Amino acid sequence: MALMTSTRRLFHVSFRENSLRRAEALISATNTTSGNLSLAGQRMACIRVRDFGTNTQPLRADNKVTVHFTNRDGEKISVKGSPGDSLLDVIIDQDLDFDGFGACEGTLACSTCHLIFEEDVYNKLGPITDEEMDMLDLAYGLTDTSRLGCQICLTRSLEGMTARVPESVADIRQSGDGSS
């Protein structure tokens, strides 16, 4: 909906600020004795500061990685992102208009950034934590090559990959996965 696109642009500004704040929170959280369970959910897989790869040059236009998303209408959308961005970051930055995507803003408190990958790409993605799996388990249409986009960091090895945005429609029956 056009409504969603224009609100996304406004949302994206506060999202970036939240990203940086969460990065700070993560760094300070690891320095305190953990008693605050909610901070575990704010763990970020990718820190958006700089390209931490072996290439220490500053970000340039040709430092980008091209990825493709197949949306819920079956259309293929190609975008560029920077290594170190999460796939959710890329989707937000590029104003890709997937309804309801990333509702919890990358804090592992929902499953709306659910993406499905091809098997060879899936095997190249970083390790999955228990916390990600806990939320992924609630995703509608879960597959063996599903991941949460907020936890996948873009790297050059993902150049040219395609991720599918699955249907998020709730079944008319109550979901059988135990989510209350």
Q: Is residue 137 part of the contact set for another protein (CB under 8 A)?
A: yes
- The first and second tokens of residue 24, run together, are 């700070």
In 43-82, which positions are buried (b, 16+ CB within 10 angstroms) versus exposed (e)? bbbbbbeebeeeeeeeeeeebbbebebbeeeeeebebbbb
Say which residue the tokens 């004795």 belong to. 33
Q: Is residue 109 part of the contact set for another protein (CB under 8 A)?
A: yes
Say which residue the tokens 């060879």 belong to. 120
Nearest to another protein of 82, 131 (CB atom): 131
Q: Taking the complex as a whole, how short is the minimal distance between the CB of residue 21 and another protein, in angstroms? A: 12
Whether the CB-CB separation of 66 and 87 falls below 8 Å is answered with no
Q: What track of x and - describes contact with another protein for positions 1 through 20 (by CB under 8 A)?
A: xxx--xx--xx--xx--x--
Q: What track of x and - describes contact with another protein for positions 26 through 65 (by CB under 8 A)?
A: ---------xxxx--xx-----------------------
Pairing relation of β-strands 162-164 and 65-70?
A: parallel
Chain positions contacting another protein, by CB under 8 A = 1-3, 6-7, 10-11, 14-15, 18, 35-38, 41-42, 99-100, 103-105, 107-112, 130-131, 133-135, 137-138, 140, 142, 168-170, 172, 174-180
